[in-house]
Amino acid sequence: MRYLQTFFLLIALMAPVWAAPVTDEAAAEKLLARARAILSGVGLTVPRQILLKLRTRDELMVENNSSGGRAIEANGFYRAYNPESIWIVSGLSEEETIGVLAHELTHAWQSTEAPLQDRKLTEGFARWAEYKVFMAIGASGEAQTLRRSPDPDYGGGLRYLLDLEQRRGAAAVVEFARTQTRIPD
């Protein structure tokens, strides 16, 4: 009997590891709603619906090329028009999926709130939003991976904004992203 209890306890503990990859748009929509809620809590709100498209990696590449997409990340991209949409690779884990969605949702916010920024602030702030979502859902390992990124824009921008947050709070980071055009080197 005790062995049986131990067995079920182990199953419960391992459930997150076994969670099915995100392969349908309804599941992705739920994660997008969760990312929206978390980011609204730090003052980063996109007050409009955005179309969500879940596709294979090949389909995503073709779509990005044909639409002249400017910023393709490994696992997704944001398109500002015709129609405004977030495109994401199918089959990522739930954590990876919500991270990409938070990142691309932040690019949607930037498209109306602060469209003229350098790459370091654009990508650093999108990574900061990802970081906030990871911390909110208890995915601190993913958050630390972002923080350690050697990329001067993605990693360096994030570290600059985390330092700003530590000194002046999350609201100051959002205000910085709304009003500034670049992060100093």
Which pair of tokens denotes residue 88? 């994401």
146 lines the binding site for Zn ion (CB under 5 A): no
126 lines the binding site for Zn ion (CB under 5 A): yes
Helix (H) or strand (E) holding 6: helix 2-18
Which pair of tokens denotes residue 26? 């309804």
Q: Which stretch binds Zn ion (CB under 5 A): 63-71, 157-165, 166-174, 176-184?
A: 63-71
Binding mask 5-44 for Zn ion (x = CB under 5 A): ----------------------------------------
Phi, psi of 85 (to 5 degrees): -155, 155
Q: How far is the CB of 25 from Zn ion (least distance, A)?
A: 21
Which pair of tokens denotes residue 173? 């980071």
Q: For Zn ion, which is the closer residue by CB, 10 or 106? A: 106
Q: Which stretch binds Zn ion (CB under 5 A): 9-17, 47-55, 71-79, 93-101?
A: 71-79
Tell me the H-state helices in 57-182: 57-66, 94-113, 119-136, 140-147, 154-168, 170-179
Residue 36: count of CB within 10 angstroms of its CB? 19
Give Cα separations from 120 to 123, 126, 181 (angstroms): 5, 10, 10
Give the nearest residue (CB) to Zn ion: 126
Amino acid at 16: P
Residues paired with residue 92 on neighbouring β-strands, in sequence order: 22
Q: Show contacts with Zn ion in window 79-118 (CB under 5 A).
A: none
Q: For Zn ion, which is the closer residue by CB, 96 or 123? A: 123
Q: Which stretch binds Zn ion (CB under 5 A): 20-28, 49-57, 70-78, 142-150?
A: 70-78
Interface residues with Zn ion (CB under 5 A) are 71, 123, 126
